Amino acid sequence: MKKMILKPGELSLSGLRTVARQHVPIALSAATYKQIDKSKKVVDNIIDEGRVVYSINTGFGALAKVRITEDKFATLQRNIVLSHAVGVGEFLSDDVVRLVLLLKINALAQGYSGVRREIIDFLLELYNNEIYPCIPEKGSVGASGDLAPLAHLCLPLLGVGQVRVKGKISDSKTILKKYRIKTLDLAPKEGLALLNGTQVSTALALTGLFAAEDCFAAAVVAGALSVDAAKGSTTPFDADIQRVRRQQGQIDVAKVYINLLKGSAIRASHAHEHDPKVQDPYSLRCQPQVMGACLDHMRFAAGIFGREANAVTDNPLVFPETGDVKSGGNFHAEPVAMASDTLALAIAEIGAMSERRIAMLIDHNISGLPPFLVKDAGVNSGFMIVHVTAAALASENKSLAHPACVDSLPTSANQEDHVSMATFAARRLGDMAVNTAAIVGIELLAGCQGVEFHKPLQTAKPLQQALKMIRSRVGHYAKDHYFAPDIREATELVRQGMFLPFMPDKLLPCK
């Protein structure tokens, strides 16, 4: 595959979504390397002039006042990587690590970090050869950046640690030798430049955002199916109602429901002035309001994550134009943490509304459908217990939606006295999205089941297409059978983004 020329600081959300799902080889331009070299020259000048600058010739964190002599520069940089590689837990997935590598390359290549081009080339070798460092998922508080996970990312530079290639875990030295990639001794500032930064939190947050979009698209389709299955009214989706509310997400998503349900023979069968369905349950009637709010907050989070993906977040920063080295706090991942907490609410609410619609459909007193969506109820339990699964998952998401960013604990002898907890804030989005995908998958099955009970009347054409896709994987529930495989198939459709094509262009921020 031809390598894409990376333009540092210009990664798009749609491009990042592609990288999260598949490998895209990259390279840097000659102009980018010139900028990298200028930044490195500033660091070299500082050393030649004997100036004392944090992280170049001093200790780190609470040890910043300790002056380091030139003969210990290499040892200092090596030690910071080794001592900070203290993560625990399961390893992050290859998809996430691929994003982390891309984001770290993107940050360093902008020329504000003072590292050699060889450092970035090493990371490019890992990325392009699909050699993914094994990064434990736990151990970062999101300030000073993702220190522990980024240390694990960089261990292969030293010939230490483990990597995963094509699903197999090996020690770094063995794989580097196989691919003829040479290890490096780190020069002044390079250790901290590699370890400082929000790239792990941001990669996890982006992964959560992409999964949230998959859930959102599927939930809109599922919600439309449920409206037709329950012979609900489409009046609540009317443009005039949305216009006077003035909420953009609500306005945008209501149009999608209208288009999905347009031409439904089921709707036409009860769309008259005496239609009893003028006061549908809120889980049907208020979908534009709830899903619109979710969309607004997804768009907000996407803006934060998109900017963070292109940010330079190590410390101190090198400015070649002036020769200045400035110490600040760009490593503090509060923007990612707060946006992740916001996105968590949206993911939870998408699932919560879907669970309520499942409960509505199986209740024949509300939906008018056969009890538990199955013929000969009593002999058959139908969708009775699968709704319990959806309720369990929705409840779990409520706990996971608790904000992480408000739970700061001081570290590093109170030098780092406020931290963001962004890494957990972002990581839990994946678990929440998995839960919501399963809930929505169950609703898709329930909605199809309900619509089919109205035969020979047909639902709208877009929903017929969705039903056909679902039925290509899972058949009609005629009688009780082993249900778990059906749920898995429907959930996979959600997680694979198979309902994104039902959404109009530009509705979702990363599509």
Residues labelled catalytic: 54
| Side-by-side strand order, sheet with 162-165 | 132-133, 162-165, 168-171
**3 state DSSP class of 138:** strand
Q: Which of these, 95, 97, 107, lies nearest to 11 by C-alpha position?
A: 107
Distance set, CA 38 to CA 42, 113, 114, 120 (Å): 7, 10, 8, 14
Strand partners for 164: 132, 169
Q: Is the dihedral of CA 44, 45, 49, 54 positive or negative?
A: negative
Report the distance separating Cα 214 and Cα 64, nearest Å. 45
Look up residue 182 and give its DSSP letter.
-
Query: CB neighbours of 358 closer than 8 A, spacing ≥ 6?
Result: 383, 386, 387, 390, 439, 442, 443, 446
Report the distance separating Cα 233 and Cα 288, nearest Å. 13
Distance set, CA 502 to CA 92, 388, 449, 464, 465 (Å): 31, 28, 20, 12, 9
Number of H helices and number of E strands within the chain?
A: 20, 9
Report the distance separating Cα 111 and Cα 492, nearest Å. 41
Distance set, CA 357 to CA 226, 265, 287, 392 (Å): 7, 21, 10, 15
Q: What is the CA 288 to chain-centroid distance, rounded?
A: 23
Report the distance separating Cα 388 and Cα 491, nearest Å. 16
Judging by DSSP bridges, how do beta strands 88-91 and 26-28 pair with one another? unpaired
Report the distance separating Cα 438 and Cα 445, nearest Å. 11
Q: What are phi and psi of 122, to 5 degrees?
A: -60, -45
Helix (H) or strand (E) holding 133: strand 132-133
Report the distance separating Cα 55 and Cα 188, nearest Å. 7
